[in-house]
Amino acid sequence: MSRIGNAARNIGKLDELARRDTWLNRIHPLPKLLVTVLYLVLVVSFSPRQLTGVLGMAIYPFILFEFGDLSFTSALYRMRIILPVVCLVGVLNPIFDREPALTIFGVTVTGGVLTMLSLMVKGVLTVLATYLLIATTTVESVCGALRMLHIPGILVTEFLLICRYVSVLLSEADRMWQAYSMRAPGQRGVAAGAWGSMIGRLLLRSMDRAKALYQSMCLRGFRENSTLLPVKGLESKDLFYFASFTTTLILLRIFPVLELIGRLFV
Partner 1 sequence: MSHIHIDISGLSFEYEKGHPVLDSISVSFHEHDSVGIIGANAAGKSTFLKLLVGLEMPPQGSIRIEEIPVEKNTLSKIREKIGYVFQDSDTQLFMTTVQDDVAFAPRNYGLPEDEVARRVARALDLVHIPHLAGKPIYKLSGGEKKLASIATILSMTPDIILMDEPSAALDPKNRRSLIHVLNEFDHLRIITSHDLDFIWDTCSRVVLIDAGRIIADGIPDVILRDETLLTAHGLELPLSLSER
Residues that bind partner 1 (CB under 8 A): 8-9, 12, 15-16, 19, 138, 164, 171, 209, 212-213, 215-223, 226, 228, 230
Q: What distance in Å separates the CA atoms of residue 116 and residue 249, rounded to the nearest whole number?
A: 23
Q: Which CB atom, from 9 or from 49, has the smaller least distance to partner 1?
A: 9
How many Cα atoms are found within 13 Å in the side-chain-facing hemisphere of 169?
A: 10
Give the amino acid at 180.
Y
Q: Which CB atom, from 13 or from 49, has the smaller least distance to partner 1?
A: 13
Question: Contact, 139 vs 113, CB < 8 A?
Answer: no
State the nearest-atom distance from the C-beta of 215 to partner 1, in Å: 5
Helix (H, G, I), strand (E, B) or coil at 191: coil
Question: Contact, 6 vs 77, CB < 8 A?
Answer: no
Question: Contact, 213 vs 168, CB < 8 A?
Answer: yes
State the nearest-atom distance from the C-beta of 145 to partner 1, in Å: 17
State the nearest-atom distance from the C-beta of 54 to partner 1, in Å: 35
Q: What distance in Å separates the CA atoms of residue 161 and residue 71, rounded to the nearest whole number?
A: 29
Alpha carbon 164 to chain centroid distance? 16
State the nearest-atom distance from the C-beta of 238 to partner 1, in Å: 18
Q: Which CB atom, from 106 or from 230, has the smaller least distance to partner 1?
A: 230
Q: Which CB atom, from 180 or from 222, has the smaller least distance to partner 1?
A: 222
Q: Which CB atom, from 19 or from 98, has the smaller least distance to partner 1?
A: 19
State the nearest-atom distance from the C-beta of 224 to partner 1, in Å: 11
